[in-house]
């Protein structure tokens, strides 16, 4: 999740926090080292080299024949291990996965920043492309990870971008009087206009971390720019929707990709509604 929204944090920001405090609000990096959460996943820890000389640990699992690879960027208080747990239903179906981990997170070296996480994303993208071979590659980003994924889409080409609980801009998540102090921008609205792949937004109506209206704003940006995609709204879901609901939506997206982008008949949870761009 993106902690910077909490009302308690607004009080802290009003007290003129230091740059270090602001950094920790945006990047409250868990320290637990990357490890395999369940051996039955058939996954392994992978070490990725970035272009600026860091070696980062993440998690990967090769796909079964004919299945896509998911490149996953987690939220700011989460981890690659949580990505694996959350997407377990798809692992059971044979999807491949590269669960990216960031610098400063989970014992990885370096200091997190928008530029740094972009460098990390490019490195994990190269690994995911290698794992996918000629198959489909779907990039998924949750919360802060959605911003990382949007940034990746401005630099790389893949088959689909899926965001969960995405915000519009980082500045929209901070108290107005502190926005000028943010060094990182994460402007997802601007990124939408550059997309070459279809965009699928997933957002819960009860998200109290990133308000649902920000998903509507991203959808409006996609519609205005003539982009392909849709907004999947999950009624009464919070910032981290149920694993099974997310899995069914991703299966529907994959089915459309494998059908050449044509309309397909899929079964979605009754709580999920679909609004195309």
Listed residue (9, 133, 107) closest to 54, CA to CA = 107
Inter-residue contact 28 to 78 (CB < 8 Å): no
Residue count of the chain: 277
List the beta bridge partners of residue 274.
Answer: 232
Instruction: Give the pLDDT confidence score for residue 14 in this predicted structure.
Output: 53
Residue ranges of domains in the chain: 3-276
Rounded CA-CA distance 70/97 in Å is 5
Listed residue (69, 71, 41) closest to 132, CA to CA = 69
- Over residues 187-225, the pLDDT tens digits come to 999 999 999 999 999 999 999 999 999 999 999 999 999
| CATH homologous superfamily for the domain 3-276 | Alpha/Beta hydrolase fold, catalytic domain (3.40.50.1820)
What is the model's pTM? Answer: 0.94
Instruction: Give the pLDDT confidence score for residue 15 in this predicted structure.
Output: 62
Listed residue (108, 73, 94) closest to 188, CA to CA = 73
All residues at 6 or more sequence positions from 220 whose CB lies less than 8 Å from its CB, including other chains = none
Instruction: Give the pLDDT confidence score for residue 267 in this predicted structure.
Output: 86
- Over residues 11-55, the pLDDT tens digits come to 444 567 888 989 999 999 999 999 997 888 899 999 999 999 999
């Amino acid at each position: 999740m993106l902690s910077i929204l909490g009302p308690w944090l607004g009080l802290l920001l009003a007290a003129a926090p230091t740059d270090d405090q602001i950094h920790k609000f945006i990047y409250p990096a868990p320290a637990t080292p990357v490890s395999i959460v369940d051996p039955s996943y058939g996954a392994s820890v992978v070490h990725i080299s970035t272009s600026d000389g860091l070696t980062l640990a993440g998690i990967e699992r090769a796909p079964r024949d004919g299945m896509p690879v998911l490149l996953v960027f987690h939220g700011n208080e989460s981890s690659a291990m949580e990505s694996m747990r959350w997407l377990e239903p798809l692992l059971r179906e044979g999807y491949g996965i590269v669960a990216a981990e960031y610098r400063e997170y989970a014992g990885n070296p370096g200091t997190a920043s928008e530029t740094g996480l972009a460098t990390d994303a490019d490195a994990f993208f190269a690994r995911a492309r290698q794992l996918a071979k000629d198959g489909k590659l779907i990039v998924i980003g949750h919360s802060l990870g959605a911003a990382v994924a949007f940034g990746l889409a401005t630099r790389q080409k893949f088959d689909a971008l899926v965001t969960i609980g995405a915000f519009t801009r980082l500045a929209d998540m901070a108290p107005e009087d502190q926005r000028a102090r943010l060094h990182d921008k994460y402007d997802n609205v601007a990124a939408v206009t550059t997309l070459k792949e279809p965009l699928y937004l997933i957002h819960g109506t009860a998200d109290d971390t990133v308000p649902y209206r920000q998903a509507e704003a991203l959808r409006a940006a996609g519609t205005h720019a003539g982009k392909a995609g849709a907004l999947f709204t999950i009624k009464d879901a919070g910032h981290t929707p149920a694993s099974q609901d997310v899995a069914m939506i991703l299966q529907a997206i994959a089915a459309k990709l494998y059908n050449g982008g044509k309309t397909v008949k899929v079964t979605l949870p009754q709580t999920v509604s679909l609004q195309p761009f």
